[in-house]
Amino acid sequence: MKFVSYECNGLEQYGIVDDQTGDILNLSQIAIIKEIDDFPLTLLEGIKQGDHFITTIQKVMDSLEQDYSSFLLKKDSLKWLSPISHPPKNVICVGKNYREHAIEMGSEADIPEHVMIFTKATTAITGHLSNIDLHSEVTSELDYEGELAVVIGKGGKNISESDALKHVFGYTILNDITARDLQKRHKQFFIGKSLDTSCPIGPWIIHHSQIKNPNNLDITTKVNNEVRQNSNTKHFIFPIEEVISTLSKGMTLEPGDIIATGTPAGVGKGFKPPIFLKRNDQIDITIEGIGTLTNKVQ
Ligand code: MG
């Protein structure tokens, strides 16, 4: 299942992608019409319900039988939101998790020995097809970072590496937009990583059952249709299990927490001279088995 959140009649609603048409089955509307008890109002609420949520959706689907076309929303008519607009914590990000990227940002000496973590403010989150603000009044070095993101399903603390993937609800795509000049000036990454609209997420969360091995997925970023990043998550320095386990040592992970797993080589700053984003640039990040997240700079 691919879970999406969108705005409909001014309200946040959610649904799943219909595999036949690519349109969206409006679960929020079905829940109201079919009077299903304790049906969650948002996707985050659903994720908090754990396996019960998936069972409920299955029941809903069965009750529709063949005639579900009246509950389909045309994908082109939606305002896409991030599948989760307000995660419980800041968006958690792994820095320098691909060797070649660590080198392009500095040198071999920048390859980390331990998982490196920073966060992005939740107010930076935006959805598929939304515009990324160039913020030319505060930065002249806006850059992209295509990344696989993990969404926590079952919370926990002191999670072992062998149990880590059992805590994942699903996977999505995240663009870790970064103001390089602010990132450098303020030492800590927070400001440079948190400008409004600098965290596009989507278009959907794909359920973990549909991704066999998240540590082996092709990832490509294009800017104006030109390939800038082209790698595979098998090149992670710290695989997802290690990232989750490390984060959870003494710190509670909660359902809906989002973890961006780091970006491969090929960011704008890595070019000589650097190529930063400009108005009207379109960024497409594609991850094997998930889909493509598209945003334009305005
Ligand atoms: Mg990043």
Distance from the alpha carbon of residue 249 to the mean position of ligand 1, in angstroms: 22
Q: Span 54-80, mean pLDDT?
A: 86
Name the percent of the chain lying above pLDDT 90: 83
pLDDT per position as a tens digit, 165-212: 999 999 999 999 999 999 999 999 999 999 999 999 999 999 999 999
In angstroms, what is the span from residue 170 Cα to ligand 1's centroid?
19
Instruction: Give me the residue spans of the domains in the chain.
Output: 2-80, 84-297
Q: How far apart are alpha carbons 87 and 125 in whole angstroms?
A: 10
**Hey, which residues does 68 pair with through a beta bridge?**
none
* pTM of the shown model: 0.97
Residue with tokens 């497409």, as numbered in its chain? 284
Q: How many angstroms is it from 114 CA to the middle of ligand 1?
A: 16
70-87, pLDDT tens digit by residue? 889 998 888 999 999 999
According to CATH, the topology of domain 84-297 is Fumarylacetoacetate hydrolase; domain 2 (3.90.850)
| Ligand 1 center–CA 207 separation, angstroms | 23
Q: DSSP code of 283?
A: E
**Of the ranges 10-24, 39-53, 149-163, which is most confident?**
149-163
Token duo for residue 210: 């549909």
Ligand 1 centre to CA of 118 (Å) is 9
pLDDT at 70: 84
- Mean pLDDT over 99-111 rounds to 91
How many Å lie between the centroid of ligand 1 and the Cα of residue 33? 42
> Distance between CA atoms of 208 and 50, rounded to whole angstroms?
13
Q: Does position 39 have pLDDT exceeding 90, yes or no? A: no
**25 Cα: distance to centroid of ligand 1 (angstroms):** 32
Q: Give residue 149 CA to ligand 1 midpoint distance, Å.
A: 10
Average pLDDT of the residues of the chain:
95
Q: How far is the CA of 111 from the centre of ligand 1 (A)?
A: 14
Residue by residue, DSSP assigns 248-277 as: TSSS-B-TT-EEE----S--GGGSSS----
Over 90: is that where the pLDDT of 117 sits? Answer: yes
Contact in structure between 15 and 26 (CB atoms under 8 Å): yes
Query: What pLDDT was estimated at residue 196?
Result: 98
| E strand residue ranges, the chain | 2-8, 11-17, 24-26, 72-73, 79-81, 91-95, 116-120, 125-126, 131-132, 142-143, 146-152, 168-175, 178-179, 199-207, 218-223, 226-232, 258-260, 282-287, 291-297
DSSP state of 75: G
Say whether 25 sits in a helix, a strand or coil.
strand
